[in-house]
Structure 1
Amino acid sequence: MNSFRHKVSLIYAGFILVWALSRWLIQDRFWLFALLNMLAEYYFVPLPFLILMALFRNEKKALLSLAVPLAVFLIFWGQLYLPKFPRAWTASHPALRAMTYNVLVTNRNPQQIIDVVVEAAPDIIGFQELSRHNIPPLDAGLLAAYPYNTFAEFTGARSDVGLVSRYPILSVERFSFPPEERAMHAVINWNGRRVHVFIVHFTANNLLQQTLAGAPALATERFGQRAYQVQRLREEITGLDEPILVLCDCNMLDTSATYTAMSEMFTDSFKESGWGSGHTSISSFIPIPYQRVDYIWHSAEFLSTHTVVGNNQSSDHHPVISHLMLRP
């Protein structure tokens, strides 16, 4: 029996090692590996049970084998489960509370969206999946607390992005973000400091809406579109020398190549100052959050001191809220 459990541990460790190497060498360049990366977090569900069993049975060879998947997990997600300690200087610095929230384009409960915002009490909110149905009630319901917004820029599209702010919005512009063009660049005046705020909505996978035969082509298309959208964002920030925030339904996981590309430009606020899985996406057949696809990214001028996943009432996404301070 000991030999059998050792073999199981070896096979499991080998699988994790092969995935980690493919993630490093191939990333999302081939659709099958891109899909495998989407599920990667769940490959580690058996790990604590295997470790506990090996400890209980004092199986040293099995424990040695399981050190490989444990190390891989810690490399990818260990930071999310470490305690976060505030820095001394942050106690006396003002914080900008930013929120990103995909409100679901078919949502017909604007009051519940307003309730979520009021409970979180952010200073700025980047919305995704705004529609002609929810913009008017959101405008009316949030105006007293958030006198500045970009609702006048609504294009009439089925799904759009927008910004609501306690602070003056100095400028707003659209920029090319194909295929659905759900992107906006605003500049706010935060206590006399200009801050660039990008609200973007990356292309979704929608693989469950496709037949099995069509999945490879669709996966290749969607991963390619997100890679191009990251490139467009990179082009838009080129030359900017002021603080930047990106409020994003990025439709990607932190094991994807697009996440790596984004992290070359920005810092992931939740990874910096959040705790836990940070899952935000839910579905009709998985009623609890099961993936982390919503992000608040920031440039080097900012430090995120506290980031949480907020409550949700009527959307298929939970909001993310982050407290950000300018570094001294």
Structure 2
Amino acid sequence: MSKIQSPYDTSSQGGFFRRFVALIGNVYLVSMLVYLVLRLAFGSGTWWLALLNSFAIYTFAPALVLFILTLLTANWRDMIRLGLLCLLAIVWFGPFFQPAPSPAQRGVALTVITLNMPSADHVQDAFDWVRDHPPDVLLLQRVPPEMADGIDALRDILPEQTAAGDGKMTLSRLPIIEQAESYTVIDVDGREVLVYNVHFSRPSLPHPRFDALDGVPFLDDMTRYDEAVRNAEIRDLLAVLDGETRPYIVGGNFNMSQHSLIYSQVRLVMRDSFRDTSAGLGATWPTHLPLLRLDYVWHSRDFVALETLVGADIGADHLPLSARLDLR
């Protein structure tokens, strides 16, 4: 009787499969080593490195699959190398998935929602969702010009409304006592709280980086990636906040992945409500297959975040984000 051959044997077909897995694994390991060295050496120094940084967690995804395949093919040397890479991923991204503490409310709590307005066909869906999750402060981006004078459909629950003139509106249940160029001041139980509603530039060039790729789906968008304008806008905001002594909230569409290097700079200045209260990635974009968290509710250390939730699909290109903050 002939012997039944395992597909993972080192002979004939099994040997080919083992060599194929080893080849793919080694190419991947070398690629990741080059990426990690370049990230350490140059940060986001080139557009393609900055793009990789934005999706950093997903660059480790093949490691687990290849680790299992090398285990099945008894390729111990490559399994150890891939295991070290998996260990690095656990150390780097594992804290994102640890259960967050649940602090008790001790001061005045308020709910802040940031939301990209959907197309006209889904505006009512957005308003219905807001009514189902009534906030104290609603930060809207991409508001159509016809709504710039106010949103009557929400005025009964959010009577205080201001527009920034660039597609952003701040709606509040609490009294608005000042409207400056870049922020709104609300009265929270007798204390002044600054609210910044932001919508930073998309990290993309207005023109193709390579003419041959102009209009080519996916490749054109990918090769236009450029963080310079967005990062400058974020640093300008951080410079303003550096000397601010009053409590503040900064919410909106940052167009920034939490894996980007500039995220760490932002977190040195203020607190990320989602990271302080929730486990997981909290991805808000794209709507139908969320991969990255581009929307945030940040706050000064005068607040403690109690809860942060990613909202439902309301027909916009981003999912809404809701944060419950405790002013102490």
Query: So what's the TM-score if we normalise by structure 1?
Result: 0.81
Deviations 1:181-238 (A, max 9, x none): xxx3111111222211111111113469846437699847x41111210121023223
Q: Does 1:168 align with 2:175?
A: yes
Deviations 1:239-268 (A, max 9, x none): 211222110211111222332321221222
Q: Which position in structure 1 is the counterpart of 2:43?
A: 27
8 Å Cα contact 2:209-2:223 kept in structure 1: no
Deviations 1:301-328 (A, max 9, x none): 222222111012221110111122235x
Look up the equivalent residue of 2:157 and give its one-letter code. Answer: A
Counterpart of 2:100 (choices 76, 84, 87) is 84
Q: Does 1:44 align with 2:60?
A: yes
Give the superposition deviation at 1:56.
5.3
Pick closer, same or farther for the CA change 1:316–1:49 going to 2, 3 Å. Answer: same
Find the aligned partners of 1:237 and 1:5 in 2 and give their Cα distance. 51
Pick closer, same or farther for the CA change 1:36–1:140 going to 2, 3 Å. Answer: same
8 Å Cα contact 2:145-2:167 kept in structure 1: no
Identity of aligned residues (%): 26
Q: Which sections of structure 1, spanning at least 5 residues, go unmatched?
A: 175-183
Counterpart of 1:130 (choices 126, 143, 167) is 143
Find the aligned partners of 2:189 and 2:82 in 1 and give their Cα distance. 51
Equivalences for residues 1-328 of structure 1 within 5 A: 1=15, 5=21, 8-54=24-70, 60-87=76-103, 90-104=104-118, 106-135=119-148, 139-151=151-163, 154-155=164-165, 159-174=166-181, 184-206=182-204, 210=208, 212-213=210-211, 219=224, 222-282=226-286, 287-326=288-327
SS at match of 1:130: coil
Find the aligned partners of 1:279 and 1:236 in 2 and give their Cα distance. 27
SS at match of 1:160: coil
Find the aligned partners of 1:281 and 1:144 in 2 and give their Cα distance. 30
Deviations 1:59-85 (A, max 9, x none): 543442123332332344322211123
Look up the equivalent residue of 2:313 and give its one-letter code. Answer: N
Query: So what's the TM-score if we normalise by structure 2?
Result: 0.81
Pick closer, same or farther for the CA change 1:207–1:240 going to 2, 3 Å. Answer: closer
SS at match of 1:46: helix
Pick closer, same or farther for the CA change 1:236–1:30 going to 2, 3 Å. Answer: same
Q: How many residues align?
A: 305
Look up the equivalent residue of 1:146 and give its one-letter code. Answer: L
8 Å Cα contact 1:279-1:291 kept in structure 2: yes
Find the aligned partners of 1:85 and 1:57 in 2 and give their Cα distance. 42
Look up the equivalent residue of 2:197 and give its one-letter code. Answer: I
Look up the equivalent residue of 2:176 and give its one-letter code. Answer: I
Structure 1 residue runs of 4 or more that deviate by more than 6 Å after TM superposition? 214-218
Look up the equivalent residue of 2:241 and give its one-letter code. Answer: I
Give the superposition deviation at 1:108.
4.5
SS at match of 1:25: helix
Q: RMSD value over aligned CA atoms?
A: 2.9
Q: Which has the larger radius of gyration?
A: 2
Look up the equivalent residue of 1:227 and give its one-letter code. Answer: N
Of 45-54 and 123-132, the range deviating more from structure 2: 45-54
Look up the equivalent residue of 1:121 and give its one-letter code. Answer: P
